[in-house]
Structures are given as C-alpha cells and as structure tokens.
Amino acid sequence: MNIFRQTRIFAPVFVSLLCLQAIWEMSAQAQSRPPEEESRIIIVKVPNPVPVAPREGYLTLYTVAQAAITLTPVTAPGGKLRMKRADQKGICIFDKLAPGVYKLQIIHDDYKPLAEEIRIERGKATALRGDPVSKYGTIVLGLGGQLAEGVAVRLNGRELTSAEFKTEKGVIIIPRAPVGAQSLALNKVGYLDWSKQIDVEPGGNLISPEMARAVIMLTVKSLPRAEVHLDNEAKGQVTEEGMLTIRETDPGKRKLRVRLDGYEEAERELTLSFEQREPIEEVALVPLADETEFSAAFDLRITEWSPANQKGWELRAGSQIGVQISDRAFALASNTSRPNRTFNIYENFRLILNLRFDNGKGAAWVTRAKDERNYYLFELDKQERKLKFYICQDGNCVLKRNDAVVADLDEEGAFYRIKLVASGNRFEHRIDTRNGNDEPLGGVIVDDAFRYGGAGLCAINGLVMSVNEFKVIPLK
C-alpha cells in the first residue's frame, strides 16, 4: 500500500543533555519518520521537474546511499528490467521508461528490503522517496563532563572496539546498534558498573545513564578520641562509640595511622578493593607503660584509685590498719600522668602487698586489667590453702590454676607480705612468713591473654581483707 506525503526532511539532530550540547547528524530517513511506521514509498513534489519526452516516463528516487535499486515492469508494455545503485546522496535516476506499472525494490544490508508497485506516467517526471526501515539504530548516551572518557561499552556482552562508537563532549554515540531488545553495559575504573536492557528503535535512542562514582566506605574501630589519618590526611577522631567511618575512599594501597596521646602510634598498610566495599579495620592501640612507682599508704590519699571512693572500701582514720575491703569492691591504682587514661598501665612490674585476712577467708588482687571486665585475678584462699588464678574476660571469670600453698598462714591477726613479679607472660609470687623466710606462693603461672594493664584490689567470694601497703614498681 502506498502512503503519500508532501514533505521531505533532512536535518541535523541537536541533543541537549546534562547541560552539555552534543551535535551530530543521523540518517535523514530515520529522523524523518516516527520509528513505529513501516517502510513506504512517498511521492515527492519537485519544483522544477525534468522535461520528459511525450511517450516516455522519468523516475527520480531518493533513498539510502548505495542502496541497490531494481525496477521490474509489471504492466508496462515495452518496459525492461532496470538495475542501478543509489549514489552517495541516495539519489537514483531512471530515464526513458516505458509508461506503466513497475515493481520497485530497494535493498541495502543495513535496512529491511522495501518493495512496492509504482506507476510511471507517460510524458511525466515522477519523484519518489523510498524509506526502508533500518536494521540499526543510533544509541546516544548522555554522560556529561569528563565521565564519558575512558568508558568501556558492552553491547549484548561484547565489548565494542573504539571504531564502533565515538565519544565527544560528554556523549557516547553508538551508530550501529541492532534494532530490538539489547543488553547495554558501561564500565569505568572508579565508577560503579551500569547496565540496562533497552529496546533499540531505528533512528536516535537517547539514554541518560547514571554512573555513580565507586568508593569504599572504610570503618576504623579503635579507642574513643583517637585521631585517624589516611595517606597522611586527617580523617577525624574515633567517636565515643569506638569507630570512625571514612565514607569516600578510593581503592588501592593506603597507609592508615591511628594515634592517641598516651598510646603507641599504630601504622599499617591497607589494600582496599571494590571486592570489599565496606571493610572494617580494628586498630588496637598499645598504651605507653607508666614508668613511675605507685605506692599507697592508705592515708588521706585513698582517692588515688579508679574508680575513687569505692563502696566497700573503709578507711579507718587514726589507725595503721590501712583500708578494709569487702563487697567485691574493684579499684585500680591511679596516679598516672599519661593522658587519655584513668588508671596506671604497667607491662613488666613488681607488686608488693601487705595484707590481713579479716574474716579468715583470704585476699585477692588484680593485674594487667584492661577495664573492670577484663583482667587477671589472683585469690589467696586461706581456708583451702590455694592460690587461685582466674582470667576474667567480658565480666566472666574462669578459674585456670589452683596451686597448693605450703606457707604458714595461721598467725592470728597478722599481716602477710606478698610479692609478685610480672615479666612478659610469666607471673611468680612469693610470701614472707612469720619465721622470716621468703617462700614461693604457688607455682609460676604463664599466660598470654593480657600483656599490659592496671593493677589493683578486689574482694571476691565473700572475703574481707585489710591492706596497709600496695606498691607497684615498674621493671625496665
């Protein structure tokens, strides 16, 4: 069926996208017709037609450049089969045609074949336009700015070569995309992959992909108020909740530094990649050990403990009895001058205790404490004649050693002097007995759970004790 129009459009297409102007020319045929219309041949009015002999016809055909044109007589007496190829402008001329009906065929590799019957009239010049439907459409990707540079384009899983698309002014143009359902994907280093199922139509297909910049969100966990640097750039301080999130981090090798006054600076190299988009890096800061002695005589300086003024600590003014401790009271020695800490922290040290068993049950002391829930606990059980060693983690204390004690602990109301040497992962106790001997108290204990921490006192299992000397001497 023939469709007749009086217009012919050949115009460049202007695309304005993302505040950028990209200008290009597409095929005139594809742009002159809505893509849903079928192929057709249209009569074109020519202002100054070519003079034609009275008994002959003349045909000018406007179509696709280099298309193969066949004109086959149907009811045209004297007509002959004519075959030509359109020129670079898409024009093909047939002169000296016998009047009558012909079958006009237009064939081009990039277009669907078009065939219709036309009539050549005697003594007249006929002008037609043949618009075959293209097998390809032009995909225009408006990315904007410099984003289009360096983008890898995949169509149906195959990466296009540089000759199959062009990039200019923030726009990527794919001139020969097959018509129909296609899978389109874009990749660029430093950006999230973008993909979409599209329906390509003949002519222009404008698409606005949103390629988000690919970043890594790095979370650093450490002590509150610790300063975090990434590649020598300050990123902020760790919050009171113990973490800092760096939301926009590029992949690659990164140098992480975490520092807090009173602690050794931690430095490590990270290798960040998009395979793990939200990594978490835990940085345990090692405290600088206190180098000064702590000595508590339990006079008016009882506040040099953390927490201060413990419930269950009773100071008896005017006596030499020191402090009486009960009710699971827990406190650590605290006269530190180091910043960002509330109690003294020791690595290797000597601890001297002078204590009495007030209710006959025993005594207890704490070492290498991280806080009130994580520490080593030693209990001298007078009734069982045992030195018990506990590891307390997250508030749960587990008995690890239960060493027999052979020293005499039966002197009524006596104070006993106990000495502990902590060196590395070794803990060795000794006790001064009433006969003047310096004897071992239990065996040597070896453990690696805590390598540094605070020293203090704690009453457990209902014991009540009095302490009139507590001294910590750091070891070099």
What is the predicted pLDDT for the residue at 31? 38
What average pLDDT does range 147-176 have in this prediction? 92
pLDDT, tens digit, for every residue of 133-152? 999 999 999 998 878 899 99
Handedness of CA 448, 452, 456, 459 (dihedral sign): negative
173 is a domain residue: yes
- State the pLDDT at residue 226: 96
The pLDDT score that the predictor gives to residue 400 is 97
Query: From the CA atom positions of the chain, what is the Rg in Å?
Result: 46
Q: What average pLDDT score do residues 207-235 get?
A: 93
Cβ–Cβ < 8 Å for 452, 367: no
Is 366 contained in some domain? yes
Q: Is residue 20 part of a domain?
A: no
Q: What percent of the chain has pLDDT over 70?
A: 89
* 194 and 329 co-located in one domain: no
> What CATH number did the domain enclosing 243 receive?
2.60.40.1120
Please give the Cα distance from 112 to 403 (Å, whole number): 96
Contacts 24+ apart (CB under 8 A), 111-115: 111/64, 111/67, 111/135, 112/39, 114/39, 114/40, 114/41
When pLDDT is averaged across residues 466-475 and rounded to a whole number, the result is 93
374-420: per-residue pLDDT in tens?
999 999 999 999 999 999 999 999 999 999 999 988 888 889 999 99
Q: Are residues 267 and 127 in the same domain?
A: no
342 and 437 together in one domain: yes
Last residue of a domain, one of 84, 105, 131: 131
In this model, does residue 4 exceed pLDDT 90?
Answer: no
Q: Which residues contact 330 (CB under 8 A, 6 or more apart)?
A: 310, 366, 372, 456, 457, 458
Answer whether residue 463 is part of any domain.
Answer: yes
- Lowest mean pLDDT: which of 56-65, 295-304, 321-330, 446-455? 295-304
Could you tell me if 350 and 414 lie in one domain? Answer: yes
pLDDT of 122-137, one tens digit each?
999 999 999 999 999 9
Residue 23 inside a domain? The answer is: no
- Residue at which a domain ends, from 131, 148, 170: 131
Q: Is the same domain home to 163 and 223?
A: no
pLDDT tier at 34, thresholds 50, 70, 90: very low
Number of domains in the chain: 4
Over residues 8-32, the pLDDT tens digits come to 222 222 233 333 333 333 333 333 3
Residue predicted with more confidence, 7 or 345? 345
pLDDT at 58 over 50: yes
CATH number (domain holding residue 327)? 2.60.120.560
- Per-residue model confidence (pLDDT) at position 410: 87
Average pLDDT over residues 199-228: 92
Per residue in 241-274, pLDDT (tens digit) is 999 999 888 889 999 999 999 999 999 999 998 8
Segments forming the whole domain that contains residue 240: 216-282
Question: Do 75 and 170 sit in the same domain of this protein?
Answer: no
- The mean pLDDT value of the chain amounts to 87
For 96-121, the pLDDT digits (tens) are 999 999 999 999 999 999 999 999 99
One domain for residues 169 and 73: no
- In the block, which residue shows the tokens 């988009």? 277
Q: Is residue 6 part of a domain?
A: no
Over 70: is that where the pLDDT of 300 sits? no
Q: What pTM did the predictor assign?
A: 0.59
Q: What is the CATH number of the domain that holds 175?
A: 2.60.40
Phi, psi for residue 392 in degrees, rounded to 5: -105, 120
Where a domain ends, among 79, 109, 131? 131
Q: Is 275 within a domain?
A: yes
pLDDT given for residue 199 in this prediction: 95
Looking at the structure, do residues 348 and 316 belong to the same domain, yes or no?
yes
Contact 73, 33 (CB under 8 A): no
Task: Return the pLDDT at 13.
Answer: 28
Q: Is the pLDDT of residue 70 over 50?
A: yes
The more confident residue out of 435 and 243 is 243
| CATH classification of the domain holding 113 | 2.60.40.10
Please indicate, yes or no, whether residues 156 and 262 belong to a single structural domain of this protein: no
Question: Is 250 contained in some domain?
Answer: yes
The dihedral over CA atoms of 463, 465, 469, 473, expressed in degrees to the nearest 10, equals 0
Residues 398 and 464 in one domain: yes
Same domain, 258 and 342: no
Residue 45 shares a structural domain with residue 64 = yes
